[in-house]
Structure 1
Amino acid sequence: MRRTQQERRDQAEAALLTAAAELVVEQGVRSLTLARVGERAGYSRGIVTHHFGGKQALVERLARATQAGFVPGLEDRPPGLDRLLRLIDGYLGELGRTGVFNQAFLLLWAESATQPELAPIFRERDAAFRADLREDVEAGIADGSIEASVAPGEVATAVVGQLRGIALQRLLDPGSVDTEALRRSVTGQWRRALTP
């Protein structure tokens, strides 16, 4: 059965993003070039340029692709305490299965602190993450499942900081971070801290 042009394009983009993620994990973002991505994926540099235009656009697309759907199963849940706690639990659970896309995201996120071309991308990604968490806290306050005196923005910042910090520790020294134990303790801590 012949594939459509869109299917071929989607397959090529997926292969290029996977190759880019692998190269970031192996060699860091500074060594990422369009030629290396094309070669790793089995395509020419021209196809990489055709899909992304340049390195900056490739990195932006990789950042979005690696963060999208990190915690599956949340899309159908209404905002509130339950979704917030499921996100925390799911995020920590996914860290136990850290694949190349998750590793690439974390490495890019860490490098964004010192790479001016990455900083805007990851500021925007973290702002969107905090906005989702803030929405959960605000919904929980509104329905009475979260203590009315908590500050949604502060909780969102603290949760992102904690999850990203645990993720980086896991990336640096996987054996020292028991994600299954942390799923129970961290989720429990947030439940106790937020409920009336």
Structure 2
Amino acid sequence: MPSPARGLTQPERVETSRRRLMEAAAELIVEKGWEATTAAEIGRRAGYSRTMVHARFGGKEAILEDFLQEYVSRLNPELVPYPTGMDQVLAHIDRIRDLYAHDRDVLRAMFVSTFEAMKTTSPLRDRVQGQLTGGIANVADGLRKGQRDNSIRPDIDLDRAVTDITAAFFGLAFQWVALPPGFDLDAELVHARERIVRDYGA
């Protein structure tokens, strides 16, 4: 087990160990899925004992809950004012592109855990569905705002547009996770972004 980092305060040591455990969980989720991963494996990968993992989190489910709160929520842009409704819609793609550029392994783990949580037996199914539903609602809100500020065409079918745009996000994410190496997620996201502007922009 790693010794506490010298010069760090207790809160800083707690955050360091939490971060190591989150990173270890992300690696294992990608390698073998969440259900097949144990708390002991997460601890070993992070360099900590199983006892420490349980003392810090209380169990594997709590680790995943923290992981989802910390990372999966990052897929949804913050509810801040955007210059236009179109900017609000595109913020979803821009957020994924930013995570792909800076935290690619964590992004893959986020998608894997999200897909795995859709099983009817998953205790986190409702939580993940709530996060995804919130993201879809944010897209719909951006489209309506865009029609008011003239960044979105006034004649589009809003329901169809929301389905089309969100399907593009999830479809590209699934292909990136499922297909062999070589699928260029960033390039595909750029194409999707350009198409959304072309099809729905005023």
Letter matched to residue 190 of structure 1:
I
Contact in 1 for aligned 2:24/2:45 (Cα 8 Å): yes
Within the candidate set 111, 121, 126, 1:120 is matched to 126
The 2-side partners of 1:112 and 1:154 are apart by 26
Contact 2:118 2:125 in 1 (8 A): yes
Q: C-alpha distance in 2, partners of 1:8/1:164?
A: 36
Q: Could you say which residue in structure 2 is the equivalent of 1:84?
A: 89
CA apart distance, 1:111: 1.2
Could you tell me which residue of structure 1 aligns to residue 54 of structure 2? 49
CA shift, 1:176, in A, is 5.2
Secondary structure in 2 matching 1:88: helix
Structure 2: how far apart are the matches of 1:59 and 1:31?
13
CA 1:125 to 1:72, structure 2 compared with 1: closer, same or farther past 3 Å?
Answer: closer
Cα pair distance change 1:12/1:79, threshold 3 Å: farther
- In structure 2, the partner of 1:69 is 74
User: Quick one: distance in 1 between partners of 2:84 and 2:158?
Assistant: 13
2:23 is aligned with 1:18:
yes
Distance between the aligned counterparts of 2:76 and 2:133, measured in 1?
Answer: 17
1:172 aligns with 2:174: no
TM-score for both structures, normalised by structure 1: 0.83
State how far apart, in whole Å, the 1-side matches of 2:28 and 2:82 are.
Answer: 35
> CA deviation digits over 1:79-128, x for unaligned, max 9?
62023224325525654776221111111112122242231121022012
The answer to which of 117-126 and 71-80 deviates more is 71-80
Deviates more, 1:173-182 or 1:48-57: 173-182
* Structure 2 residue identity aligned to 1:187: R
Is 1:145 the counterpart of 2:158? The answer is no
Structure 1 residue 66, shift from structure 2 partner: 2.3
Gaps of 5+ in 1: none
Is contact 2:77-2:91 (8 Å) kept? no
Structure-2 residue corresponding to 1:32: 37
RMSD of Structure 2 on Structure 1 (CA): 2.8
Deviations 1:17-73 (A, max 9, x none): 111111111121112221111111111223222332222221121122222435899
Q: Answer whether contact 2:24 2:46 (CA < 8 A) is retained.
A: yes
Q: Distance in 1 between matches of 2:167 and 2:199?
A: 16
What is the aligned residue count?
Answer: 196
Structure 2: tracts of 5 or more residues without a match: 1-5
- Aligned equivalent of 1:9: 14
Q: What residue is the counterpart of 1:159 in the other structure?
A: 165
Code of the residue aligned with 1:167 in structure 2: it is A
- The equivalent residue for 2:189 is 183
Instruction: Kindly provide the amino acid, as one letter, of the partner of residue 49 in structure 1.
Output: H
Conserved? CA contact 1:95–1:167, under 8 Å: no
Three-state SS of the structure 2 residue aligned to 1:30 is coil
Deviates further, 125-134 or 83-92: 83-92
Match of 1:69, SS?
helix
Using the size of structure 2 for normalisation, the TM-score is 0.81
Q: Name the SS for the 1:190 alignment partner.
A: helix
| Cross-structure match for 1:135 | 141
Q: Find the aligned partners of 2:52 and 2:174 in 1 and give their Cα distance.
A: 33
SS of equivalent to 1:31 = coil
